[in-house]
Amino acid sequence: MTLILNREEVRGLLDTARAMELLVPVFLEEIDGTTAHVAPPAEGNSPRVVGGVLRGMHRMGIRLRGVATVSDPETGKLLAVLSYQWGVLRVVATLALAARYLAPPRSRTVAMLGSGNHALPILEALRLVQPIERVEVFSPTPEHRVAFAERATRALDLSVTARDSVEAATAEADIVVVATSSRTPALFAAHVHPGQHVTSMGGSTELDASVYLSATQFVTTSRSQELAVARLGNRRGPAPLAGLVAEGKLKPESIVELGSILRGDVAPSNGLDQITVFRDPQGGVGDLALANYVYEYAREHGLGIEVDI
């Protein structure tokens, strides 16, 4: 039998703090080599199917938009189909977990580049790991950034100010969040300063090549997945990261996987004279781990409905 849960049934079973806990063993599996990722689509067309296998957890699955599956990799049995905003939850939890280790200690100011659906949840998540007191926001459309600043000020009960340029938003930031839908770079090295943590969750093209070259330490959850996404790029071509690797300006082995920092194999380069850059490679086995937690909880507590598929 396959367990089915809709979005309302899943809501309330997970929060960002618990998601961060659930993602730690996923990133440790990544460095242990016990994960496998669904390959990105041939030409980067939407919708994207993400997912893969967590051998240590004995689970496999995929996510398409807001629907995730959980299966047994040994038998192939479909255990559950669950509807939720898995991608949003994974993104905010991953970025917060990275900021806990990679941002300067006691980071107080965030520059938010982008005012879309992920922006407010990301800020809420960052407040779980750093003592954020102020946010400077920029997005290309003045009405959007002003409206977001007003909405975020009410939601977060702290100062959120709309700025009219990337330079103005990032000038005094401890953490620079890039969360855009831009098909061209939205952040350049000229916008980044020593002592800052840059974190990116949007398209693989939103960071200019110069940002990677300015980094003291570049971190991602999965080196292989991030490079695959970079090679894919968008309709305009591969992402800047792919070009740096192809030209030999950035060695793949220099890309640090977050699990190595979580386990203590690599120290974070988050000093006042250093720059850390983190990128979430847009999905994968993290979604599976979150969905599996809900499946196990629901099965134990008699939630959802079972159907014969």
Kindly tell me if the per-residue pLDDT of 45 is higher than 80.
no
Lay out the sheet containing 109-113: strands in order across: 159-162, 134-138, 109-113, 175-178, 197-200, 276-279, 217-220, 256-257
Q: What percent of the chain has pLDDT over 90?
A: 88
| pLDDT value of position 41 | 58
Rg (CA), the chain: 19
Q: H or E stretch including 148?
A: helix 142-156
What value does the mean pLDDT take over residues 44-73? 88
Kindly tell me if the per-residue pLDDT of 171 is higher than 90.
yes
| pLDDT value of position 40 | 66
Q: Which of 113-117, 245-249, 251-255, 282-286 has the lowest mean pLDDT?
A: 282-286
Contacts of 89 (CB under 8 A, 6+ apart): 14, 16, 19, 290
| pLDDT value of position 202 | 75
Kindly tell me if the per-residue pLDDT of 163 is higher than 70.
yes
Q: What is the pLDDT of residues 214-241, one digit of tens each?
A: 999 999 999 999 999 899 888 778 899 9
Kindly tell me if the per-residue pLDDT of 134 is higher than 90.
yes
Kindly tell me if the per-residue pLDDT of 273 is higher than 70.
yes
| pLDDT value of position 195 | 97
What value does the mean pLDDT take over residues 39-62? 79
Mean pLDDT, the chain, integer: 94
Q: Which DSSP symbol is given to 46? A: S
State the Cα angle at 200 between 199 and 204, rounded to 5°. 150
Kindly tell me if the per-residue pLDDT of 149 is higher than 70.
yes
Q: Which of 13-27, 82-96, 275-289 has the lowest mean pLDDT?
A: 275-289
Kindly tell me if the per-residue pLDDT of 44 is higher than 90.
no
Q: What is the pLDDT of residues 71-87, one digit of tens each?
A: 999 999 999 999 999 99
State the Cα angle at 147 between 146 and 150, rounded to 5°. 85
Q: Which of 132-136, 228-232, 285-289 has the lowest mean pLDDT?
A: 228-232
Tell me if 203 sits within 8 A of 234, measured CB to CB.
yes
Adjacent-strand bridge partners of 279: 200, 220
| pLDDT value of position 214 | 97
